[in-house]
Every structure is written in C-alpha cells, then in structure tokens.
Amino acid sequence: MKYLHFLRVNLFRKKIRTGLTIGSFAIAMLLFGLLVIVRLAFNQGVEVAGADRLIVMNRITFIEPLPISYMDRIAAMPGVKAVTHATWFGGTYQDPKNFFPQFAVDPESWHLMYPEYLVGDDQWKAFLGDRQAAIAGAGIAKQYGWKIGDRIPIEGTIFPGNWEFNLVGIYTGATPKDDVTQFWFHYDYLNETLKQAGGRSWVDHPGWYVVKLDNPDDAANIVKKIDQTFANSDYETKTDTEQAFAENFAKQVGNIAFILEAVGAVVFFTLLLVTGNTMATSVRERTAEWAILKALGFSDRFLLFFVLAESISIALIGGLLGIGLAKLSTAWGSPAPSVLPLFYLPADQMLVGVGVALAVGVVAGLLPALSASRLKVVDALRRV
Amino acid sequence: MVRVDGTSSGESLIQIRGLEKNYSRAGEEIHVLQGLNLDVGKGEFVAFMGPSGSGKTTLLNLLGGLDTPSRGSITVAGDEITHMSAGKLTQWRARHVGFIFQMYNLLPVLTAFQNVELPLLLTKLSKSERKQHVDIALEIVGLANRSNHYPRQLSGGQEQRVAIARAIVADPTFLLCDEPTGDLDRKAADEILDLLTRLCKEHGKTILMVSHDPLAADRAGAVLHLNKGALVEAQGVGGPA
C-alpha cells in the first residue's frame, strides 16, 4: 500500500498518453462486451434449449405445417412424456418494422412444456378463459409499453388481416437467458378464424410440434421413430433435438461465432501492440529513474512488478470502463428485438472480459518490465 | 585516518585492496583501475580528483556496489562486498550507501518529502516514523519549508540539498558524492560544500566525493589524485602515495 501513491503518480505523469491508452482499452473492451452480447443473442436458443425436448417439423421446410392429428399419434409413442404444438404467425405491430415472434399455441400443453416461462396463476387463468387473449414476454411488453388490459392489434402477413388480442398476462424468464420477447395466443382463435374464412392449407395444421421425453437418452431412438412413422405420407417430418434445431437456425445467419471471434482477436492483438508500445516508451523515458531506484536499493524484482503493476492498472481501468459501458448498453434492452431478442451481458462473461484485460496488461507490460528490471545502473547513469 | 599504502590501522571503515577494473572495448583491454589500495576511517571526508577517464567515477561505482571489480576486494564495515550476489548487493546498498549525483536525479513526479522518503520505503518503519525521519533530514539540509515542493519548483542548489536529504535519511554508513557541485553556480556550490562539511564534522558522516573542482576538494580532509587508474598523488593521508 505504501507504493500506491508512487504507482498512481507514475501512471498519470503523462496524462494524455495514459488517458488515450486507457481509452483504447475501454473501447476494445466495449467491443468485446458487445461481441459477447451479440454472440449470446445468436446462440441463446442453443444455450437454453431443453435437453429433453424434440422439435418435429415438416420435412420440406419449417414454414410448411403438419396435420393436427400427429399430436395424438406422437403422444402415444413410448418414451414421449408430453406434446404441444405452435404456429408461427409472423405479424407486425403498428409498423412493418415492429416485428417479434408471435406463436399460436395450444395453451395447456404449451404451459407444461415450457416451465421456464413464468406466468402468474391469475394471468394464466385469464388466458385460458378468453379465446382472444394473449400473453407477451416482459421484454416485448416493455419495449412497446404494453400493460395488462391493453388491446393489441397485429397486422397479419402469413395470415392476412388485422388481428386483435387482449393482453391478459406478461411472462418472465426463470433465468436471464430465457427469451422474453415472444407473444402467445390461442391456436383455436387462429384455426377457427381461418375455418370461417374458408382457408384450407393451414386449417387444423399447426406449424410444428414440441415433444418432451421421459428420458433425454432416448432422444436418438424417438427421433428415428417419429420420422419413420410419418415417412411416405403427405406430410413427412424432420425431427431434431431442440438444441440441434436452434443451432441450425443460428447457422442460417452464418457462422457468427467465428466472425465475432476473428474480429475480437484482431482487436486484442492491436490492443496488445498499443499498450506494449505505451509501456515500452514510458519505461524508456524513465531509464535514469529506474537506475536511481536501483542505486537506492530497490530490487530488480520490485522494478519488474512495479512496471507490470502500471501496465495492469491501465488494463484494469480501461477494461472495467469498457465492460461497464457494454453492460450499460444493455440497460435499455435490445436495439433490434426481432433479430436479437436477448440482449444481455452475464456476470461470468464480464469476469472473462476483466480476465482478458488483465492478461493483455500482463503480456503488454512484460517486456518493458523485464528491460527495466535488467537495467545496469552504471550503464544507465552514464547515459544521463 | 586515510591510508593508501595497503596497511591497515585496524580501524578502517572502508578497506580496498589491490582493486582492478578492466573493460574490453573493440577487442582492446582497458585498465581503468590498477591495483588500488585505500583505507578510510569513520567520519573521514575524502575527495578524489583527476582528469576525465582517470577512473574516479568507476571507483565510486565499485565502492557503491553498482559495479563489480575485475580483481581485488572492497570491505565496508566488515562486509566484503566484492563477492556478494546482485540481490545481496542491492540490500547492502539500501542499508549502507547514500548516493549524491551531479544531476541530483530526483524523481520529478514526487515532492521533496516523497523523494526523501523513497529509501525509507524499503525499511519496516511505519508511516509516522518515516515522516519523522524525513522531517529531520529536510531540517538538516534547511528545506523543511519546501517539503511539498516538486523538483521543478526548486532551484538547482535546493534540488541538490533534497538529494542530500534523500542520501542521509536512512542513516547510511557512508555517502558517495559524484560531482555534487558540478551543475551549480559558485554560491550554490559553496552552500552544498558547507552542508557536506557540516554532515561530516557535526554528524560524523563518512564522505567520499569525486570532483573536478579544487575548491570542493579543499573541504575534504584527504585528497587523492588519480590518473589512468592509478593513484598519483595524495594529500592528508597517513601513508606514502
């Protein structure tokens, strides 16, 4: 502690240079934080996918439906605990750019399938009692300023028309990773409206099934069984684990993780050079001072750790600043909820960020620290 | 008593025997110091004079444990330093040597107080004890009222007095002064020399000083003239030069 003042005054002797280096660190760590946020957003489906759930969809494409009769047939298979279905509605709210996932669901089985989505008992009761009722995720409700009792108009795209829903509940996630940007309403409302309109292709044909297994270890067998059961029918199925489904969905956007990691690596390599250069210049400028400190009796090891402490301090201040800014950027939610429904920076990733900053600080400071510690007093004083 | 004949009176604080320092430059062997003998008693003020390249500063560096000799030995207060490891030598320097340089070499980011406090950071003294020591050192050099000033706010003479305070604050065994007045005007130089003389006479400090300035050398009890690494003349010593 007695060296803290000495460290501080040395660190800020060139305020502009130190400030710019800290700024570089802060921007790099902000970028790191944002990359992590985006990567998590793209992978959130994969990360929260239930290990014991399967997705059954149309073999041709997931936007083609499946017959409602499949529900009972799948439910009757050994090893299947529960089945539900959902249909992608694909509407917009007030403006075409206000897009978020809307699902027509079978309420009872949906609720049992996804215990991670938390809805108050009263709200759920109200949902069951009203055919036009809807439940929205807390994230999307916050974004549009919805509250329970609001009437929500949705402009249909796949199912044209102006659809109106009564918002009776708002769900939250059991963990921060759970998607709270969905909008659920009754499949019956969709199905019966389509029937009345004389529609044919989507009547009694939900979009996909979600299957809960008694034992996740049976997943491979049951996947095979389901697809074999419906093979050579008008509606062949393609069944995957929920995780594989989410991964395939994410891959349609491209190998986001690779792109983000490549950008991150370039940023940190550049940061290493910037900080290393700052420390090397700073140490070189103080050659005479290191010599004096050595002459006074300060050890080589002291100088090594002192220079490293300066480098680490820069990294830590910049790192905390950048990570703090990244965290702050999530305070107002996702800037594009339809593309990135989840927009958060978890504590463990913040710690990883601080760790990365510290590692860069150590590596950047190591060579200058070694040169200061190995300095020969006589040679250094001769140069003064 | 200062002796240069290699015979010890048994009361020497500093004892140098057969000291040699050679450098190899562009394949050529340069003999900077050649078989030097010296005994310095406690409380002596010794000045080394001689032309540039005569080996004065090399001798000072060897005495301060900043460099190692090619041959010979240096013993200070019973410790032979010539065979100490670098780590031990660093610790020894902190305990026994006070350095005063021509260019003062204060740390510009620290105040006078903090500069003087530096050697004490290596000790186990508490903060209040350190303050007490620093206050006394600054009082001795007459700069108690400048303790919060930064080096850039002080004159050259004042900076050198702070450097002297830094050199004496940990009460080292001896002081090594390398051209302490070389960068000062006559008046400031005299003040520094007065201070060094006072430190020797009133506080019993042993001082070894390198200087080109004959007036500075006049203050010393013994003056040793070096040329090409050898002792060529000595005044005020107890043995033949």
- ipTM of this complex prediction, to 2 decimal places: 0.91
- From A328's Cα to the closest Cα of chain B, the distance in A is 35
pLDDT at residue A148 tops 60? yes
Dist CA B134 CA B127 (whole Å): 10
Per-residue pLDDT band for B3 (boundaries 50, 70, 90) equals confident
Distance from CA of B134 to the nearest CA of A (A): 15
Q: How far apart are CA B177 and CA B196, in angstroms?
A: 10
Residue A71 falls inside a structural domain: yes
What pLDDT does residue B241 have? 44
Residue of A2, A15, A296 best to disrupt the B interface, most CBs of B under 10 A: A296
A384–B66 C-beta distance less than 8 A: no
From the list A288, A289, A295, which residue is nearest B99 (CB)? Answer: A295
Helix axes A15-48, A347-373, angle to 10 degrees: 140
B84 touches chain A (CB under 8 A): no
Chain A positions touching chain B (beta carbons under 8 Å): 2-3, 5-6, 9-10, 13, 288-289, 292-300, 377-378, 381, 384
pLDDT in tens, A3-60: 898 999 998 889 999 999 999 989 999 998 988 888 777 766 666 566 689 999 999 8
Q: Return residues 15-74 of B near A (CB < 8 Å).
A: 61, 64, 66-67
Among B93, B131, B152, B173, most A C-beta atoms within 10 A, so best to mutate, is B93
Residue of A nearest to B89 (CA): A297
Is A242 part of a structural domain of the chain? no
Same domain, A279 and A184: no
Residue A227 lies inside a defined structural domain of this protein: yes
Do A142 and A73 share a structural domain? yes
Residue of A nearest to B61 (CA): A378
A110 and A29 both lie in a single domain: no
Domain of residue A317 covers: 4-45+254-383
Instruction: Find out whether B224 and B56 touch, Cβ atoms under 8 Å.
Output: no
Answer yes or no: is pLDDT of B74 > 90.
yes
Q: Which residues from chain B sit within 8 angstroms of residue A296, using beta carbons?
A: 93-94, 99, 118-119, 122, 166
Rounded to the nearest integer, the mean pLDDT of chain A is 89
Q: Determine which helix (DSSP H) or strand (DSSP E) holds A309, and give its type and residue range.
A: helix A300-329
Average pLDDT, chain B: 91
**pLDDT tens, residue by residue, A53-77:** 999 999 988 778 999 999 999 999 9
Does a structural domain hold residue A55?
A: no
* β-bridge pairing A208-213 and A80-88: antiparallel
Q: Are residues A92 and A211 in the same domain?
A: yes
Residue B49: partners with Cβ closer than 8 Å, 6 or more residues away: B56, B210, B211, B212, B214, B217, B223, B224, B225, B226
Residue, of A376 and A49, whose pLDDT is higher: A376
Same domain, A106 and A227: yes
A138 and A179, same structural domain?
A: yes
Most confident of A93-97, B97-101, B180-184: B97-101
Which residues of chain B are within 8 Å of residue A10 when distances are taken between CB atoms? 109
Whether the per-residue pLDDT at A378 is higher than 90: the answer is no
Taken in order of first residue, the domains within chain B and their CATH numbers are 43-66+84-235 (3.40.50.300)
Q: Which of A94-98, B56-60, B128-132 has the lowest average pLDDT?
A: A94-98
Please check whether residue A50 lies inside any domain of the structure: no
B127 at interface of A, judged by CB pairs closer than 8 A: yes
Within a domain: A123: yes
- Does a structural domain hold residue A165? yes
Q: Which residues of A touch B108 (CB under 8 A)?
A: 13
